[in-house]
Amino acid sequence: MAIDMEQFRQVYLEESFEGLEIMESGLLELDPGKADSEEINTIFRAAHSIKGGSATFGFKEVTGFTHIMETLLDQMRSDEREVTPAIVDLLLRSVDCLHEMFVDLKAGDAINQSRVDGVQEELERMLGGESATTASAGPDSEAADGAAAVAVTEGWEIVFVPFAGMLKTGNEPLRILRALRELGELEVVVERDQVPTLEHLQPEECALGWKLRLKGAVARDEVTEIFEWVEDDCELSLTEISAGHVAQEQSQQQVADASQSVVAAAPKEAGATRKKASGGNKQQSSSIRVAIEKVDALVDMIGELVITQSMLSQIGDNFTVDMIERMREGLAQLERNTRELQESVMQIRMLPISFAFNRFPRVVHDLSATLGKKVELVVSGEGTELDKTVLEQIGDPLVHLVRNSIDHGIELPDVRVANGKPEVGTVNLNAYHQGGNIVIEVSDDGAGLNKQAILNKATQQGLIEEGEHLSDADAFDLLFRPGFSTAKEVTDVSGRGVGMDVVRRNVRTLGGNVEVTSNPGVGSTFIVRLPLTLAILDGQLLRIGNEIFIIPLVSIIESIQVNMEFVNSIAHQAEVYQLREEYLPIIRLHDRLQLDEGNKDLENGLLVVVEADGKRAALMVDDLLGQQQVVIKSLETNFHKMMGISGATILGDGTVSLILDVAGLMNDSVVNAAVQTMGSASGKGNSGQQNSPVIH
């Protein structure tokens, strides 16, 4: 019988990624000059396991590379070689190189041999007694990804072809081109071959591509950072222009090939292609590891369900009127079994957030070294569980928040000492459950946010009027505007204003929100709230006209009967409701959802007070029908996304009910104006009618 090796190959690749995480965390724990033999043994065993499996599956490049790493690690564990920062740094870059190799192998792509050869030569020089740092062509050689032959960089040839749906993710291709132009002289050629005829043109879809030539001594990392948030949504080819004409000719040929078909995959030249498909990040795993206890619980529940089914079957076969009570008991038991089975299945999808937190020690290590800062990472709540889908998508936004804390928050050591702080700054990562959500806090003990600097920048950009007063919450909310940055100069880490708006957008896509608190001189905290799962939610059923809608319970503050004495209108023709000392914009869902049926008289309706992103509003509905746990069904496969609708579900009677998106409903020009006006007039320490902008 033929053995299907593909399944074993996939298992090996998954285990190899886990082994690389063990190696990286172990290397970060090593204390230079004080060899921890047990820690080195752990790293060595992980490398040895990777090497053994690679030989089995014929991955010769991996086998040879890890063999050299093994030799260096063996010298360290036998005290033949001292643990130095240079060795730790080289081994960390070697782990990165292995990671890229496995990403390529998993995707079925060719390994970037030039990168492998470059790092492998550094390992061999280190084994030969030559320092990797002195043997390389200077500090810029690391930025060139360890290329074996580092040429003088004259610039980059870039092929940038956005996928059709890029605009729907909130990313703006022209903003990327403007950011590239800040790095050096930029030549732009627009590819319009795929632009459809006028009758087939979709304004929300991108049909253009660009061939770019960036001139100047620009590091690869500076270029790739600009594309960091769109690399999953485009075809991207990056080729170095060197002093020698060979690389230049290759890049020109590559651009010529790409121009023949804008939507075709970019050339598979080693190291040139960042992402090759729209299927998402290669590192997202299609498999999941489950604790045996969870599987046992699921098997037990299946057994209970079978017993209940058998009991109901017997009642059905011999049914008489006096057996109605037994049938009711059986149905109640079936309901309990179904609920417990649902919980067991959902538990299988739950993973500890440590899977996302594990990357941050390396991020802090590398970035603090780059910025010349001393930073300690403190992690808590790493055992907190959340849905695998949420876990995979929250990693990148959290990385950006941590990088922001280190770059903008933590001060340089001499500045901290002068301010009476320890020279080592602290970044805290904390996760915990709160209600039906998971809360992730990224905090630091740095300088805190400079509110006045934020207001000055916002005034310069025309976001607010000069001298306009904003609360702390509203001022900090400006940080999430596209293109907003208070950095005085653009660096490899920050300053372009590309990132925080994408962080909020990605978090909102997951049904969550981001809040900011800060204390000058003490530090800042970014609070991310997310649902535990994207599959099920607890909802409130609403009747609007003849339709039934669902709103997440976590968004509801309270519901009230309308008292017309407290209804007023303001500029922009927006209605507001005075609830105690707060003024709430009224959103008439009949009008917002374009429904003709039902009651449109505010006096005969109900107001449901909801909150999203720290702002509140009152939704006018006809009736409240009760609460229910529902399974979320996506609409994006068959329908265009509609503002204010996040999904759908099927009710018990087979009716399809739409799920309302509170943040989307409040994202309306008139409502936003009312929210901003009300925010400055209430809930900020002032109250009463005299502080209200009510004019009608």
Catalytic residues: 48, 70, 404
If we measure between CA atoms, which residue out of 121, 34, 142 comes closest to residue 370? Answer: 142
Distance (Å, rounded) from C-alpha 189 to C-alpha 172? 17
The amino acid present at 318, given as its one-letter code, is N
The amino acid present at 397, given as its one-letter code, is P
Using an 8 Å Cβ cutoff, are 315 and 330 in contact? Answer: yes
SS3 at position 92: helix
Distance (Å, rounded) from C-alpha 478 to C-alpha 145? 36
Burial 333-344 (b: 16+ CB within 10 A, else e): bbeebeebbeeb
Neighbouring residues of 317: CB distance < 8 A, sequence distance ≥ 6 = none
User: What is the token pair recorded at 28?
Assistant: 């970060």
Strand partners, 241: 155
Q: CB neighbours (10 Å) of residue 662?
A: 26
Give, in order, the Cα–Cα distances in Å from 345 to each of 217, 341, 413, 538. 54, 6, 49, 17
User: What is the token pair recorded at 77?
Assistant: 């564990």
**For residue 582, which phi and psi values (nearest 5 degrees)?**
-125, 145
Distance (Å, rounded) from C-alpha 368 to C-alpha 446? 13
Distance (Å, rounded) from C-alpha 666 to C-alpha 587? 8
Using an 8 Å Cβ cutoff, are 187 and 212 in contact? Answer: yes
Using an 8 Å Cβ cutoff, are 405 and 367 in contact? Answer: no
Distance (Å, rounded) from C-alpha 500 to C-alpha 486? 12
Distance (Å, rounded) from C-alpha 219 to C-alpha 633? 44
User: What is the token pair recorded at 378?
Assistant: 């403190």
User: What is the token pair recorded at 82?
Assistant: 């001292």
Distance (Å, rounded) from C-alpha 576 to C-alpha 570? 7
User: What is the token pair recorded at 63?
Assistant: 């086998």
Using an 8 Å Cβ cutoff, are 337 and 304 in contact? Answer: yes
Alpha helices in 78-208 (DSSP H): 85-107, 113-127, 132-135, 140-143, 173-181
Distance (Å, rounded) from C-alpha 440 to C-alpha 390? 12
Which residue spans within 362-436 are E strands per DSSP? 375-380, 385-387, 425-434
Give, in order, the Cα–Cα distances in Å from 295 to each of 290, 450, 533. 7, 51, 19
